Amino acid sequence: MPDPDDFIVVEQPVPALQRGAVLVENSWFSLDPSMRIRMSGGESSYFAPYRIGAPLDGWAVGTVVESSNPDFTVGDTLHHACGWREHAVLVPDGSDWTSPRPVGVGGAIDARHHLSVLGASGFTAWAGLFKVAQLGPGETVFVSAAAGAVGSLAVQFAKLRGARVIASAGTSEKVRRLTGALGADAAFDYRTRPIGESLRSAAPDGIDVYFDSVGAEHLDAALESLRPGGRVALCGQIENYNHGTGASKGVTRLFSAIEKGLTLRGFLARMYTDDFGEFRSEVSHWFERGMLTVDETVIDGLENAPQGFIGMLGGANIGKTLVRLQAEA
């Protein structure tokens, strides 16, 4: 588990803008469990490791305050990948999905929603359920870490598409939220009873899909409950992020996948960017009509981001964890 003393806030002068660059004043940035992976050193070529002494980064939204790029105007709201800072110099080149891009605000949509329901969290939930696991109406899905940024949206998206939803979380307060405002058909606290038992009680006839953000015992319980032909969207393994790879908690019930013809498919949202337009269209529609509850834990100020991040890893936060850098307009 990271410690607040592992982080330091540094002030640096903003450099002069080169041609094509813009200066953005960040209003919000995102804190995500996957950032923990990037703190574990250089093993993975899929998550660029954070370097000691260099600034952290991550999804952010902000306002253009200076522009040397004819395509961007002062006042534009941009979504970009240079969070964990108050100002960022960006060179939008459209090269990949981390490249800065303008986003619309107005009506129900605030800039911060492009970090949650309309951004990476929402897209991860949507792609995992519908593209990776091919969840269909009338099926039963189990969502773990269901009170978190991705899970809380997965629960609601699945309900809106006509599935039955079973959810797990780590406090009784979260469990109440899940069966209350978030609309899960059943929910349980995975800390109070073996997960397999809770899942069997909630879904005595089994489940069709498991949306996995946890790994380990959660995945084993799901493998036992999945029905023939069931699917697992492997989205994260928060259970293992604070261990070295060698100490990763194993999955022991993969034999179930053979007996029942199960499919387990891992994914990162960026593998499904071709589907981003379809996602935005469907989820904006729901959001603008007030059909979605967007839970948020808001941390004020860069200096409080480390504690907010640590709280998120420890399960203290509800919904999307965001750092607010300025008073809202």
Write out the residues near a copy of itself by the rule CB under 8 A: 44, 46-47, 215, 219, 234-237, 240, 245-246, 248-268, 271
Q: Which run of H or E residues covers position 67?
A: strand 60-67
Q: How far is the CB of 245 from a copy of itself (least distance, A)?
A: 7
CB nearer a copy of itself, residue 219 or residue 325: 219
Q: Token pair for residue 142? A: 């189990």
Q: Token pair for residue 13? A: 């002068």
Find out whether 128 and 211 touch, Cβ atoms under 8 Å: yes
Q: Which run of H or E residues covers position 195?
A: helix 195-202
Q: How far is the CB of 288 from a copy of itself (least distance, A)?
A: 31
The DSSP symbol for 275 reads G
CB nearer a copy of itself, residue 134 or residue 293: 134
Find out whether 285 and 254 touch, Cβ atoms under 8 Å: no
Phi, psi of 174, deg, nearest 5? -65, -40
Residue 16 makes CB contacts below 8 A (sequence gap 6+) with none
Residues in the chain: 329
CB nearer a copy of itself, residue 153 or residue 234: 234
Query: How many other C-beta atoms are found inside a 10 Å radius of the C-beta of residue 104?
Result: 11
Q: How far is the CB of 271 from a copy of itself (least distance, A)?
A: 5
The DSSP symbol for 6 reads G
Q: How far is the CB of 121 from a copy of itself (least distance, A)?
A: 16
Q: How far is the CB of 255 from a copy of itself (least distance, A)?
A: 5
Q: How far is the CB of 151 from a copy of itself (least distance, A)?
A: 16
CB nearer a copy of itself, residue 139 or residue 212: 212
Query: How many other C-beta atoms are found inside a 10 Å radius of the C-beta of residue 238?
Result: 23
Find out whether 226 and 207 touch, Cβ atoms under 8 Å: yes
229 vs 114: CA distance, rounded Å: 35
Q: How far is the CB of 65 from a copy of itself (least distance, A)?
A: 36
CB nearer a copy of itself, residue 200 or residue 249: 249
CB nearer a copy of itself, residue 46 or residue 54: 46
Terminal CA-to-CA distance of the chain, rounded, Å? 35
The DSSP symbol for 113 reads G
CB nearer a copy of itself, residue 63 or residue 121: 121
